[in-house]
Amino acid sequence: MKVENGMQIEQRFISINKFSRPGVLLEGVRGIVVHWVDGAGQSAQNVVDYFEILGKQGQLAPYESFASAHFVVGLYGEILQCIPENEMAYHVGASAYTTIARKKLGSYPNNSTLGIEFCHPDRTGVFRAETLCAAAWLIRALLGRYKLAYGDIYRHFDITGKICPKYFAENEDAWREFLHQCRAIENSGE
């Protein structure tokens, strides 16, 4: 377990595989991308387990799924890290990227961003306060470590246009409030 500024991060790295942890080094960290877990009510460990299972896809699968993120923030504020920060995760793959994403993050944003999945209790996508608090602390720590600004925090929606995270993509005020929560941590002197 890693402790950073009083925040506990459990490292549960998934196995290197072609579908969820390719073992490719990032070209650098130019942004942090926020996501929501597709399955409502999932625990952080469920999500890490899913990423691990993706690596076991066989040649006979009807299609291949590629997905992962560096961190998963659970329903009760637990934080699991499943891919090292210096490695690429498959969290913002797309056939096309927004103009701002291409300009600020390059032609393949997976190469230059850290991905964080937020767990949520139901299909509304509204996050629990514990999830948001832990995520804000994690993001604040990552901003400091990589010398990033608040403009370097993105929703998956900002990169590809996908409605992810649903609640933040559909509620600009909620997204701005979360960014304010991240700034408040910095201003609290923690």
Domain holding 101: CATH number? Answer: 3.40.80.10
Please tell me the predicted confidence (pLDDT) of residue 6: 67
Measure the CA–CA gap between 113 and 151, rounded to whole angstroms: 13
Please tell me the predicted confidence (pLDDT) of residue 78: 97
Measure the CA–CA gap between 118 and 36, rounded to whole angstroms: 5
Crossing angle of helices 172-187 and 129-145, in 10° steps, is 60
Which residues of the chain are modeled with pLDDT < 50?
189-190
Tell me the residue range of the domain where 116 lies. Answer: 2-187
Number of domains observed in the structure of the chain: 1
Q: pTM for the whole thing?
A: 0.93
Q: What does pLDDT average to over the chain? A: 92
pLDDT one-digit tens code per residue, 51-99: 999 988 876 566 678 999 999 999 999 999 999 999 999 999 888 999 9
Please tell me the predicted confidence (pLDDT) of residue 161: 94
Counting beta carbons within 10 angstroms of the beta carbon of residue 36, is it exposed (0 to 12), middle (13 to 18) or buried (19 or more)?
A: buried
